[in-house]
Structures are given as C-alpha cells and as structure tokens.
C-alpha cells in the first residue's frame, strides 16, 4: 500500500523525523483557512501516488489566503497522468506546507533488498532527482548498507553510511539520528520502502525530509488498523473495491488501460495470459486472479466486475484447474451472463484441468464452446475487441 | 532421482486440522507421499482422517522420524511455524502460505540454520513424479522423465508441465519457489542442485517480473556453474511499471525487475526464452539434442 505524501509526512513526524510543517486540504475553503491560520511562503502540492506531478502543474506556490485560492482550485480535481499511466490519477487533496530554504538536496531510503534478503539503507549526497539516474550516471555516489535484523541499527552504521555517501560533516550527527528513527519506523510500520528524496539541508543547517514516499507491506496491514483510514483515501479504483468486496484479495485485481478483459486462476497464469493477449496485438483491460478453488459465485462476480468496465469489449477467461473445478467455473460464467447484459459472443473461455468435461457440458448447454489453448483464446478475444 | 526430496521423504503437515492442510494432506497421501502426521498447537493427541496430530513439530519429528515439513498455517502465524520446524531439526520446509508479512520472512530467513532448506513461502511446493509430491500441485499433469523445472508460479507451472507431458517430455523434479519477494530458495539454489542430479538433462525455468533472481541465474550459467541446457519463460512482459501483479514479488520498480531485462540476461548467455508456454516443448526438444556447455 502506497501512502500519499501527507500521510507519509505524518508518519515521519510521529517518528521524530523532521518534516516541514504543513496541513492537508480537500477543498479550496480549507486551503484558504490553512493560509489564514498561518500566512507564510508555502508550497501547494497535489496529493497523488503517480509520479510527475511537478511537470503536470501539480505543485504551485502561495503565501496567503488570497493567492492560495487559484492554485488550490487548479490542483484539486486535476487529473495527473504520465507516460506509464496515461489514465492518470485525480488529486483529491492538496498538502500545503511551509516553503523550505534549501541549500542542498540529498537522498536517503530504507527498503527490502531481495537479493540479500535484508533491509537495506541507500543514501547519496545527490538528491532531488531520480535515484535511478544517479545510479546510472554515478554509481559511486550511492552508499548501500544491508542491515542484519538481528542486530538492528546502531549509530556506527549511520556514521559509516554518511562517510560513504559523502554527507557533509556538519550535518552528519543529524543524519545518523534521522537514520535511526527511519529504521525504527521501517519495522514499526511494516514498511517495504521509506524514501526521503530530497532529504534537504536548509540554509540554516537543518536536515528536513522535503518529500516522503512510503510503501507499507500489504501483508502487514492486518497488524496496522491505524492505516485503514488511509487506505480508502488512496483508493481510486471502484472496480478494485468491488473485487475486494467479492472476496478477492487486495492484489487480485489490477486495472489497466486496454479493452480485453482478463480473468484467470493464479497470478503467474494471469500474467502469461496478459502477455498472450498483448502478443496477439490486443491491450489488456485488467488483471484478475480468482485464485485457487474459485466457486461459481466468485466466478460470476469476477465476470460482472470485468464487464462493468466501460472500456472492455471482450473477455478472455483462462482456467487451468488444479483445485479449481471446471464445472464451478462454467456455472459461474453462465450465471454472470444470465444476470447481466454481456453477450456470450464477446466472451472467450479456455477450460482445462479438473472437471474440464463437466465444465464443457455446462457451457455447451448454454451455447458456449470453450477453446483448447491459451494462445487461441487470446487471439479470439483480441479479434472480438477490434472494431 | 530427484532434488531436495524423494520417495523416502517423510512429511509432517503443519496446520493439518485446518481446511487446506487436511485437504492437501489427503491428496498427498493419495499420490503416494509418506505423510506421517500433522501438527496443530493445542490439538495434540487427536486423530484427523487417520492422521495423528501433535502439539509441536519436535514431538512429531521424534515420534515419526520425519525430515520434511509442509506448512498450511495462516499468515500471522506462518513465519513462527517455519522457525519452529527449523528449530525442531526439520531440514526441508515447504511453506505454502500466501500473505506472510515481509518483515516476518526477513527475520525467519536470517535465523534459519545453514543446513535447513526453506522452499517458499507462497509456493505450490515440489513434486518428483512417481516418487513424492510435497505441495498442492495436481499430480496427474506430471510424468517422470529427464527435465527439471523451477518456477515462481503455481498454475502457470501446471500449464507448462501439462504441455511438456503431452509432448512426451517427463520431469525429474518440479520446484515451485513461490511468488513472494523474500523466499527461502531461489533459482540459483535449484540450478546448483539440478547440476548435481545425473538424471536431469535440462531445466525449464519459469520466471516473472520483479527482483533479480533470473539475472542471478543467468550469471550462474555464464560462470559455468550450470552446464546443462536451460529453456526459460518470463511472465509479465506486458505488465505496467509500479503495479503489483498478484504475487507480492511480481512488481517492476523503476527500471528494476523488468521482464525485458530478464529476457535479455538469458539470451545473452545463450538461453532460449519462449514467447509463450506453447513454445516450450519444442525449445526443450532442441535443447536436449545439443551437447552440454562444458
């Protein structure tokens, strides 16, 4: 689960990590009130998870209740998109924070390193830009330190990282202290990523987290009821919410931008199905994994959700059943078609594995013929979606 | 022959009194796996469908001489179950559970002794056709033969194995290493084991977006530490950046973990990468006809 900037900064503040003072607004009136309470040079920032908000005009200045109106109006409700995510995201809130007088921008993060199976500290004196670009241009400018969870964080680690990352000596002790708090927060919050970019040195020599990017391990959310409220604030996708309501996991539905709806059993199989559709010249509308052993009800709901997407022109259901039973899948599909207004001619199903024969019988009785292979199914579904 | 386990492996089922544990204990027993007993804390002394239940893995192991444990324990308690099994002297632990907090796994892998092999979590297990099945895979799609398989996926594995079996290509051992970001056994671990297994003549490797496991496997091959033919398939080539595709470990972050990087890494070391699962049997046939890289 990704947190919005204001949520991340709230978390940092509670953990004792210095952040600029700021408040969040969901309306222009709230923005005006914030500036009235504290007129000062400020930055008005779109609260979205998508990158590139600056370029899209989602970051503006203000200094009082009068001149905050226009930026707040412009940004609230703005749809911010980028190349990877053309559908974009709507900014439902702005974060209005005190403008910092920044002398230097650095980088600090803690994340999970899969290769070493450790939490890892990543730091650089080069911040304020894409860390991947820094890594490409100047790998020596990045210090990395995997931490053994048994020992945890000790100040000597911070001092070593500061040296290796060329952190200016006059802020090293602040750096070591912030890193300790960041590490403690990493474990307390069940985080996958805590990123401060830029970690700013202000003109008066203070270290402040100018931005906060926080990713919480979805699998840890059950231990963090305090994040429940933030979940709905971040959630944009109505169909995903329906999927969760139908009993699917948080990550079993992913909305994409195409027009071929996809349903399968097992994440790897569904990914391969997306690939097959793309390889056939089509564009997947979504990823939906019904998991193992899906019953007719779940299948019915899955089809209803995918076909509720107005962009969807055809649907491909790819089932290779181990504990998932073909007859259950078929029954669910038939129920979905009966209950909705989706034509069976715009639906392709591949049904292999457990109770395949029984499943095909149910389909046959309803005028549906299953295809034999995944590739054939992908081709058919793509052909149906094309005008 | 097989890797990691074989027909004489004796298996404990942790979580056997739960719905998943019991269902799969029965299926494994039906396949021919030696399922000795189960463990559910607090239910020791009971018997469920012919399986004795113990309170602890230690008691279960001492009573039955089991050397393998399979875990069907819910996410909040699964890391604990893994560590308990290791602490009790079990040397092969297969964790099926999906949804274990990553931090729990960071701790678990850091305390596992060097002689303990953990497979998973969030995996379908492993099967040596005709010998033993420790997991949730449907036994009927597998057939004994000379090709090893290692995969991050579950049902995609069945799809691919089904294609192999229908093409007359049987398997030595198929290992599902799982879809989580922090797992006990990675591709290189399996390749190193397959290198030593005389019966395995080639390996099919099924990867996906996220992490650098596939790249590490390619590097192992480049260093000459795996000399048998490999055929790869990488799922998620069309997945967008930043979105987790089901598996917790299947996510592209920035430029890291892309399918293209993995495809390129394999092609660079001479490993053919199938464009779709249907292509795999032909690539395997070709690979088997070529002499080993030595």
Query: How distant is the Cα of B231 from the closest Cα of chain A, in angstroms?
Result: 16
Please report the pLDDT score of residue B205 as a whole number. 98
Same-domain pairing of B205 and B293 = yes
pLDDT, tens digit, for every residue of A31-48? Answer: 999 999 999 999 999 999
pLDDT, tens digit, for every residue of A336-387? Answer: 999 888 899 999 999 998 899 999 999 999 999 999 999 999 999 999 999 7
Reported pTM: 0.91
At A231, is the pLDDT very low, low, confident or very high (cuts 50, 70, 90)?
A: confident
Please report the pLDDT score of residue A339 as a whole number. 81
Show which of B61, B89, B122 is a domain's final residue: B122
Same-domain pairing of B153 and B283 = yes
Cα distance between residue A245 and residue A250, in whole Å: 10
Show which of A98, A117, A138 is a domain's final residue: A98
Please report the pLDDT score of residue A236 as a whole number. 57
At A86, is the pLDDT very low, low, confident or very high (cuts 50, 70, 90)?
A: confident
Average pLDDT over residues A238-262: 89
CB pairs under 8 A between A and B: 180
Specify if B132 maps to a domain: no
CATH classification of the domain holding B234: 3.40.50.261
Q: Which of A132, A264, A284 sits opposite B238 (nearest CB)?
A: A284
Number of domains in chain A: 3
Please report the pLDDT score of residue B294 as a whole number. 45
Same-domain pairing of A270 and A336 = yes
- Give pLDDT tens digits along chain B (294 positions): 699 999 999 999 999 999 999 999 999 999 999 999 999 999 999 999 999 999 999 999 999 999 999 999 999 999 999 999 999 999 999 999 999 999 999 999 999 999 999 999 999 999 999 999 999 999 999 999 999 999 999 999 999 999 999 999 999 999 999 999 999 999 999 999 999 999 999 999 999 999 999 999 999 999 999 999 999 999 998 888 778 888 878 877 766 789 999 999 999 999 999 999 999 999 999 999 875 554
**Of the candidates B192, B280, B170, which has an alpha carbon nearest to the alpha carbon of residue B231?**
B280
Burial of A326 (0-12, 13-18, 19+ CB in 10 A): buried
Rg of chain A (C-alpha set)? 25
Same-domain pairing of B105 and B242 = no
Is residue A234 over pLDDT 60? no
CATH classification of the domain holding A125: 3.30.470.20
Percent of chain A at pLDDT above 70? 99
Specify if A232 maps to a domain: no
Beta strands (DSSP E) in chain A are 2-3, 22-25, 42-46, 59-62, 79-80, 89-90, 94-98, 102-113, 118-124, 142-146, 191-202, 207-209, 213-216, 253-255, 260-264, 286-288, 314-321, 347-353
Catalytic annotation present for B247: yes
Distances (CA, A) of B139 to A295, A328, B30, B66, B134: 21, 20, 10, 22, 10
Residue A178 is encoded by which pair of tokens? 């912030």
DSSP letters spanning A321-385: ESSS-HHHHHHHHHHHHHHS---GGGEEEEEEETTHHHHHHHHHHTT---BSSHHHHHHHHHHHH
Q: Which of B136, B243, B278 sits opposite A323 (nearest CB)?
A: B136
Specify if B5 maps to a domain: yes
Show which of A227, A251, A275 is a domain's final residue: A227
Q: How many CA atoms lie within 13 A of B23 on its CB side?
A: 10
Q: What share of chain A is helix, strand, coil (3-state, %, to 5)?
A: 40, 25, 35
Q: Which of B22, B167, B237, B246 to mutate to test the interface with A (most CBs of A within 10 A)?
A: B246
At A232, is the pLDDT very low, low, confident or very high (cuts 50, 70, 90)?
A: low
Is residue A219 over pLDDT 50? yes
The 8 Å CB, 24+ separation contacts for A135-143 are A141/A165, A141/A166, A142/A107
User: Which residue in chain B is spatially nearest to A250 when comparing CA positions?
Assistant: B246
Same-domain pairing of B72 and B183 = no
Same-domain pairing of B108 and B210 = no
At A240, is the pLDDT very low, low, confident or very high (cuts 50, 70, 90)?
A: confident
Same-domain pairing of B220 and B102 = no
Q: Which of B154, B155, B234 to mutate to test the interface with A (most CBs of A within 10 A)?
A: B155
Same-domain pairing of A112 and A220 = yes
Average pLDDT over residues A1-12: 94
**Of the candidates A303, A317, A304, which has an alpha carbon nearest to the alpha carbon of residue A377?**
A317
Same-domain pairing of B155 and B11 = no
Contacts of A118 (CB under 8 A, 6+ apart): A112, A146, A147, A148, A149, B106, B110
Percent of chain A at pLDDT above 90? 78
Crossing angle of helices B155-166 and A267-279, rounded to 10°: 70
Please report the pLDDT score of residue A233 as a whole number. 54
Cα distance between residue A335 and residue A329, in whole Å: 10
Show which of A201, A227, A253 is a domain's final residue: A227
Question: How many C-beta atoms lie closer than 10 Å to residue A7's C-beta?
Answer: 23
Please report the pLDDT score of residue A133 as a whole number. 87
Same-domain pairing of B293 and B156 = yes
Same-domain pairing of B187 and B241 = yes
pLDDT, tens digit, for every residue of A143-178? Answer: 999 999 888 999 999 999 999 999 999 999 999 999
CATH classification of the domain holding B95: 3.40.50.720
Please report the pLDDT score of residue A130 as a whole number. 86
Same-domain pairing of A266 and A171 = no
Please report the pLDDT score of residue A235 as a whole number. 55
Same-domain pairing of B92 and B148 = no
Same-domain pairing of A265 and A371 = yes
Average pLDDT over residues A220-226: 91
Specify if A109 maps to a domain: yes
Same-domain pairing of A93 and A107 = no
Same-domain pairing of B154 and B43 = no
Same-domain pairing of B283 and B210 = yes
Cα distance between residue A230 and residue A3, in whole Å: 7
Domain that holds residue B226: 137-294
Q: What is the ipTM of this complex?
A: 0.88
**Of the candidates B139, B23, B138, which has an alpha carbon nearest to the alpha carbon of residue B72?**
B23
Enumerate the residues of chain A whose CB falls inside 8 A of the CB of residue B106: 112, 117-119, 149
Domain that holds residue A320: 238-385
């Amino acid at each position: 689960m990704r947190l919005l900037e204001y949520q991340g900064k709230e978390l940092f503040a509670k953990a004792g990590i210095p952040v600029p003072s700021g408040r969040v607004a969901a309306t222009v009136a709230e923005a005006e009130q914030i500036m009235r309470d504290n007129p000062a040079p400020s930055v008005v920032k779109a609260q979205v998870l998508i990158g590139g908000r600056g370029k899209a005009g989602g970051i503006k200045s203000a200094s009082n209740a009068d001149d905050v109106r226009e930026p707040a109006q412009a940004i609230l409700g703005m749809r911010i998109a980028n190349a990877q995510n053309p559908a974009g995201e709507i900014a439902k809130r702005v974060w209005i924070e005190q403008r910092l007088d920044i002398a230097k921008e650095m980088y600090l993060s803690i994340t999970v390193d899969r290769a070493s199976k450790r939490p890892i500290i990543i730091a650089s004196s080069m911040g304020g830009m894409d860390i991947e670009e820094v890594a490409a241009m100047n790998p020596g400018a990045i210090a990395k330190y995997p931490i053994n969870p048994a020992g945890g964080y000790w100040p000597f680690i911070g001092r070593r990282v500061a040296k290796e990352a060329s952190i200016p000596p006059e802020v090293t002790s602040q750096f070591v202290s912030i890193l300790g708090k960041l590490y403690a927060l990493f474990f307390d919050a069940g985080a996958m990523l805590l990123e401060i970019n830029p970690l700013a040195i202000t003109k008066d020599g203070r270290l402040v987290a100018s931005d906060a990017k926080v990713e919480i391990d979805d699998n840890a959310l059950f231990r963090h009821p305090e994040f429940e409220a933030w979940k709905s604030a971040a959630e944009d996708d109505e169909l995903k919410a329906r999927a969760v309501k139908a009993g699917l996991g948080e990550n079993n539905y992913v909305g994409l931008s195409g027009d071929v709806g996809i349903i399968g059993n097992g994440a790897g199989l569904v990914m391969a199905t997306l690939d097959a559709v793309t390889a056939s010249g089509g564009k997947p509308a979504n990823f939906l994994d019904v998991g193992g052993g899906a019953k007719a009800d779940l299948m019915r709901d899955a089809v209803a959700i995918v076909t509720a997407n107005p962009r969807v022109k055809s649907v491909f259901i790819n089932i290779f059943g181990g504990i998932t039973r073909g007859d259950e899948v078929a029954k669910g599909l038939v129920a979905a078609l009966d209950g909705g207004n989706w034509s069976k001619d715009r639906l392709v199903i591949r049904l292999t594995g457990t109770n395949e024969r029984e499943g095909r019988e149910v389909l046959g009785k309803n005028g549906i013929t299953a295809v034999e292979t995944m590739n054939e199914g992908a081709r058919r579904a793509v052909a149906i979606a094309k005008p | 022959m097989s890797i990691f386990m074989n027909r004489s492996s004796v298996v404990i089922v942790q979580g056997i009194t739960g719905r998943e544990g019991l269902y799969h204990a029965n299926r494994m027993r039906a396949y021919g796996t030696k399922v000795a007993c189960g463990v559910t804390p607090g239910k020791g002394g009971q018997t469920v469908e012919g399986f004795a239940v113990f309170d602890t893995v230690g008691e279960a192991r001492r009573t039955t001489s089991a050397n393998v444990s399979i875990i069907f324990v819910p996410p909040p308690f699964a890391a604990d179950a893994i560590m308990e099994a290791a602490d009790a002297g079990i040397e092969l632990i297969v964790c099926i559970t999906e949804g274990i907090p990553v931090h729990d796994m960071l701790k678990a892998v850091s305390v596992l002794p060097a002689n303990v092999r953990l497979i998973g979590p969030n995996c379908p297990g492993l099967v040596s056709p005709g010998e033993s099945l420790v997991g949730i895979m449907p036994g009927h799609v597998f057939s004994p033969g000379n090709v090893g398989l290692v995969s991050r996926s579950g049902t995609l594995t069945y799809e691919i194995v089904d294609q192999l079996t229908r093409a007359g290509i049987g398997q030595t051992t198929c290992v599902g290493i799982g879809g989580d970001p922090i797992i006990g056994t990675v591709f290189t671990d399996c390749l190193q084991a397959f290198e030593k297994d005389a019966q395995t003549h080639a390996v099919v490797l099924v990867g996906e977006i996220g992490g650098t496991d596939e790249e590490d496997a390619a590097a192992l091959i480049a260093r000459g530490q795996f000399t048998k033919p490999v055929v790869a398939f990488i799922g998620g080539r069309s997945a967008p950046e930043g979105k987790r595709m089901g598996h917790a470990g299947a996510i592209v972050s920035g430029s890291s973990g892309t399918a293209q990087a993995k495809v390129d890494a394999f092609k660079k070391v001479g490993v053919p990468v199938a464009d779709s699962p249907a292509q795999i049997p032909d690539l395997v046939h070709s690979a088997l006809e070529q002499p080993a890289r030595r």
